[in-house]
Structure 1
Amino acid sequence: MRYKLSDCVTIISGGTPKKSQESYWNGNIPWITVKDFNGKYVSTTTDSITLEGLKHSSANLTEDQDILISARGTVGKVLMVGAGYTFNQSIYCLRADRSVLVPDYLFYWLEKNVSLVKQGTHGSVFETITKDTFNHLTIDLPDLKEQYQIAHKLSMFDRKINLNEQINDNLFKLAKIHFDRQLDSENIKFSQISTIQNGYAFKSKEYVDTNELMILRTKNINDNHLFSKNDVVYISKELFDEYKKFSFSAFDTVLVMVGASIGKTGFVTSNMTPSLQNQNMWRFRPKMSNIPGLLIFQYVNYINKHIIGSATGSARSFYRKKLFSEFEVPRINSTNYIYFDTLQREIDHLNTENEILYRIKHSLLNHYF
């Protein structure tokens, strides 16, 4: 049966407590913004508010299995949340009428039909979803039993993807723990063990529609330090020889060295190659082939932690390469390399597996919706 989407959900607006009121912030209530959207489920939020902040703003609390959808700027990203979250005014909460609609089914319908949602947006400068947008969207709903069956099949993939991501988070933490144990070693200059390569400002006129040679940009680095193919752009693979100086290899490390996300680090896994390095980032690679890339990643984060606040520049802050090349770091004994090598291979395996799971899941989305 076909329904108007606004007839089978309750649409709830978000809000932001006054930033100037310190007593409204850093409380026990997680507060979601668009930057917290990553995957189906929310893991952590950047900010939180207090009960006082909730009472003195238009923010609302979520209930279990509410769906959040980004409504301004980055439009159409969806997230499923449990009870007790709040969210800002750039997000709508959709609360399913469970007599006709399974929340998980709604999540996957929205994920598949984001283009339909965007067609209903308003605004010349920023794409913006309004409450009226949902009046123009219709959804075909099978009976509840079939909705549950479809949602269950798709949810199995998201649960496995989420588990792999949690494991990878722990593997990165284990690598840091082992690295920190070596900090009392003798120091050497970072330039003795790693190269630092600038990126290249590829021109949009070189982009092609086919999936040929990837260009990895700063926006492709997820908060878990791993790269995603979402919003990746491509150029012709015939241009590889011309730009091979900027090519990535598995286990390269990346650092954003200018702009709003300065200091963000990324780790390249094998499923993200072959690819090329865009501007605004440095690429780090071991000078000796026996040094694991994950160890270089730890070094870069170690240096980055010590020089935060040292960026220069009037219009946009940026790091100077000399800060990194001359920074003294502990010399890690080669007997420890096997530890980092084992961890990086497992991280690579899980991230590659997740890409395969994403592809299968989206094939199912196309089948069911």
Structure 2
Amino acid sequence: MKQQVSVAVDSSWSFRPLGDVFDVVGGGTPSKRSTAYYDGNIPWATIRDMNAEHLSTTEHTISLEGLKNSSAKLIPAGEVIMASRVGLGKACILKQDTAINQDIRALIPKTPEDIERKFCLYWLQSITDRIVSAGSGATVQGIRLPFIKSLPFPFINREQQKRVVEMLDQALAALDCARGHAEANLKDCREIFSVAASSIVERMSKGRQERLRLGSIVTRLTNGYVGATRNIYVDSGIPYLLARHVRDNTLTFDGRTHVSPEFNEKNKKSKLKAGDVLLVQSGHIGHCAVVPEEHDGHNCHAMIVITTLDDVISGPYLSAIFNTPYMQDEFQRIRTGSTVPHLTCKMVRELLIDVPPRQVQDEIMDEIETLKKRTHALQFRYAKDLNNIADLRQSLLHKAFSGQLT
């Protein structure tokens, strides 16, 4: 996909340290011990709220008393904020006066009349890779204030900034439209697979299944390790699987989290066996996957680990059942947590599962695997389209902020 773009920008761009152009303001969190500090009239932003270029609503609010008695800062509408911890690379413009927590920094221009705020936003997006690569911390990636202040900001006059913004608005709008189509196609493909797989299960097991309580057909249904992770990670060792590694009935380890052999042996309860089913317990609940041979003996964090009675129900079949629309609705029915969905082992153990004879399960899985191969090519194509669009977007941003677009 090629975009024709042009912008009249002086060949000589000057760059200044960000800290010379902006005041970099941090935030904070009011004490959770005082209920009077929360549910007030002041929007209070966390990284979870930063999901679009403009932040118009927040999940939580705080009171004036909470603002006064904490490090939280109220940032005026129209200013740019960026993630300095956890969600590195995120940035947005505030649509209303909003308080921020300690994981966010606000960029307040020292001379407001000189800065086009969307120019600043696009610039931050153009250096996302640089910000992410500078992150440090074993479990929670963050960047330090000196690094933020040292970032080279392109200091050109405001009219030039406006022309860059106008050019990028036009070019990126076309890319965003293409991305929307690719995302919709990928979603449709996944939903078609889910519905078709569910249909295979229903058709091939009809009249031959027995409805059984999940807890009666497993030998293990327990939590993965749920302690603090701050001091357990090592540079290399035993792969440690997290919820982010489980999506769409697939386990994909990114190679970033490891624990020591000693930790692995000490926490045998969460030690995995090939064929186990991992069920995401918090956040994107209901996603699940079967543990493949290469992760036999490894460990996991805060997921539900299920070992089936293999002569009654196989791990792959249980995972396929979990991914049907009916079971996804069941997970939503038994979930706890008003803001972060959560599944408990106790409630999952009580779920009723339709179990056909073991041989029928294998036949069902053979058909589902055939279906999966047919849909995989389409999913790969749409995922590749999304990657190409993301790469082109970053290329346009990079060229715009190095004065290369002519």
Aligned to 1:297: 328
Aligned to 1:255: 279
5+ residue gaps, structure 1: 173-186, 209-214, 235-242, 248-252, 270-274, 312-318, 331-348
Deviations 1:30-76 (A, max 9, x none): 3222344445455764432123322443423333443322224x363
1:105 aligned to 119, 130, 143, which one?
Answer: 119
The answer as to whether partners of 2:331 and 2:343 remain within 8 angstroms in 1 is: no
Aligned to 1:20: 33
1:150 aligned to 165, 168, 171, which one?
Answer: 168
> Are 1:68 and 2:81 matched, yes or no?
yes
Q: Secondary structure at the match of 1:18?
A: coil
The answer as to whether partners of 1:9 and 1:94 remain within 8 angstroms in 2 is: yes
The answer as to whether partners of 1:255 and 1:266 remain within 8 angstroms in 2 is: yes
> Are 1:360 and 2:394 matched, yes or no?
no
Q: 1:206 to 1:114 in 2, by over 3 A?
A: same
1:324 aligned to 326, 348, 357, which one?
Answer: 348
Find the aligned partners of 2:252 and 2:21 in 1 and give their Cα distance. 30
Aligned to 1:279: 300
Q: 1:296 to 1:120 in 2, by over 3 A?
A: closer
Q: 1:244 to 1:54 in 2, by over 3 A?
A: closer
Aligned to 1:139: 153
Q: 1:305 to 1:25 in 2, by over 3 A?
A: closer
Deviation of 1:360 after TM superposition, in Å, equals 0.8
Find the aligned partners of 1:220 and 1:51 in 2 and give their Cα distance. 40
- Give the aligned length: 300
Letter in 2 for 1:5: L
Deviations 1:240-269 (A, max 9, x none): xxx99669xxxxx96335xxx4x7514479
Greater Cα shift, 142-151 or 282-291: 282-291
Q: Secondary structure at the match of 2:300?
A: coil
Aligned to 1:218: 243
5+ residue gaps, structure 2: 1-12, 192-209, 226-233, 257-271, 307-314, 355-377, 399-406
Find the aligned partners of 2:104 and 2:144 in 1 and give their Cα distance. 10
Aligned to 1:31: 44
Aligned to 1:88: 101
Find the aligned partners of 2:343 and 2:287 in 1 and give their Cα distance. 23
Q: 1:285 to 1:93 in 2, by over 3 A?
A: farther
Q: 1:49 to 1:100 in 2, by over 3 A?
A: same
Find the aligned partners of 2:139 and 2:223 in 1 and give their Cα distance. 30
Q: Secondary structure at the match of 2:74?
A: coil
Letter in 1 for 2:279: L
Deviation of 1:92 after TM superposition, in Å, equals 0.6
The answer as to whether partners of 1:254 and 1:266 remain within 8 angstroms in 2 is: no
Q: 1:216 to 1:297 in 2, by over 3 A?
A: farther
Q: 1:12 to 1:207 in 2, by over 3 A?
A: same
Q: 1:48 to 1:289 in 2, by over 3 A?
A: closer
Deviation of 1:93 after TM superposition, in Å, equals 0.8
Deviation of 1:123 after TM superposition, in Å, equals 8.8
Q: 1:206 to 1:24 in 2, by over 3 A?
A: closer
Higher relative contact order (CA 8 A, sep 6+): 2
Aligned to 1:346: none
1:265 aligned to 257, 261, 285, which one?
Answer: 285
- Percent of residue pairs identical: 19
Deviation of 1:138 after TM superposition, in Å, equals 0.7
Q: 1:55 to 1:364 in 2, by over 3 A?
A: same
The answer as to whether partners of 2:84 and 2:143 remain within 8 angstroms in 1 is: yes
Find the aligned partners of 2:245 and 2:53 in 1 and give their Cα distance. 18
Find the aligned partners of 2:119 and 2:250 in 1 and give their Cα distance. 25
Letter in 2 for 1:104: K
The answer as to whether partners of 2:89 and 2:131 remain within 8 angstroms in 1 is: no
The answer as to whether partners of 2:334 and 2:343 remain within 8 angstroms in 1 is: no
Q: 1:291 to 1:219 in 2, by over 3 A?
A: closer
Find the aligned partners of 1:112 and 1:228 in 2 and give their Cα distance. 32
Q: Within 5 A, what are the aligned runs for 1:299-318?
A: 299-305=330-336
Question: TM-score when scaled to structure 2?
Answer: 0.52
Question: TM-score when scaled to structure 1?
Answer: 0.56
